[in-house]
Amino acid sequence: MVDEKEMVVKSGEEYPVPSENLTVQKLPTVILVDTSISMAGELPGINAGINTMVRDVQADNVANQQVEFCIISFNDVAKLEQNWKPVNQMNPVEFTPSGCTNLEAGLTMALNKSRERSDYYEHLGTRVKMPFLITITDGHANSGDFNAICNEIRSREEEKKIRPFTIAVSGYDKETIAKLSDKKRVLEFTGPDNHNYMEFFNFLTESLKVLSLPSVNGNVSVESNLGNPSKGSCMQIPDFNDWLNS
């Protein structure tokens, strides 16, 4: 028999998990944000997008019982901004830029926190839906060796233990991002002056709401023009094949 208090300590939690909530399925979501100096112009939009998403999920009476967030930033080092919390206990984020881009440190912490949370609930017998891992970066890794962690993320993705998405900020390094994720799970902006982060976070909000519904057991869909510039989206799926063969 797993001791609940022991598991809370092992998972690094800062809040008690009410026993009545252990029967409710959980949807853990890690948000990993590059706060290096090269991201200075992006952070206000990212802050607004995350904070709006959290408020919208809080207002949904089904999703707010299931969705949990872990917020991590990285520059020279990775920083745990907010440990796993139910969405109703989240604080607003306010990232500021500094330092270089230690992508390996950020990804390592993010993957560890995702694995930790899934293991925690599995030990308690609570159903866990496939966690999201959202990474926002300009992809210029100038510190750390991220090849091994990228391989581990892709392995967990293939095993359906994690659902990674990457927002590739304009000017990003395609070699870096191509190693990080399957090309279908990467979005880039269509132009340097058209960075509407709210579009993505609105899509993520609706996805979390749909996945929280008790009737969802198979494939799901969300109506969105995200990734389709011909229908007004400011984001598109990059052509990695064009880059790889150029």
Q: Is the pLDDT of residue 246 over 60?
A: no
Q: Are 64 and 88 spatial neighbours (Cβ–Cβ below 8 Å)?
A: yes
Q: Are 225 and 200 spatial neighbours (Cβ–Cβ below 8 Å)?
A: no
pLDDT for res 8: 41
Provide the token pair at 40: 């200075």
Per-residue confidence at 91, pLDDT binned at 50, 70, 90? very high
pLDDT for res 31: 98
Over residues 93-120, the pLDDT tens digits come to 999 999 998 999 999 999 999 999 999 9
Of 91, 33, 124, 49, the closest CA to residue 83 belongs to 91
Q: Which residue has the higher pLDDT, 22 or 25?
A: 25
Q: Mean pLDDT, to the nearest integer, of 212-239?
A: 75
Q: Which of 56-60, 176-180, 182-186, 200-204: highest mean pLDDT? A: 56-60
Over residues 113-149, the pLDDT tens digits come to 999 999 999 888 999 999 999 999 987 766 556 788 8
Provide the token pair at 193: 């002056």
Collapsed DSSP state (helix, strand, coil) of residue 192 = coil
pLDDT for res 53: 97
Residues in the chain: 246
Collapsed DSSP state (helix, strand, coil) of residue 188 = strand
Burial 12-44 (b: 16+ CB within 10 A, else e): ebeeebeeeeeeeebbbbbbbbbbbebbeebbe
Per-residue confidence at 174, pLDDT binned at 50, 70, 90? confident
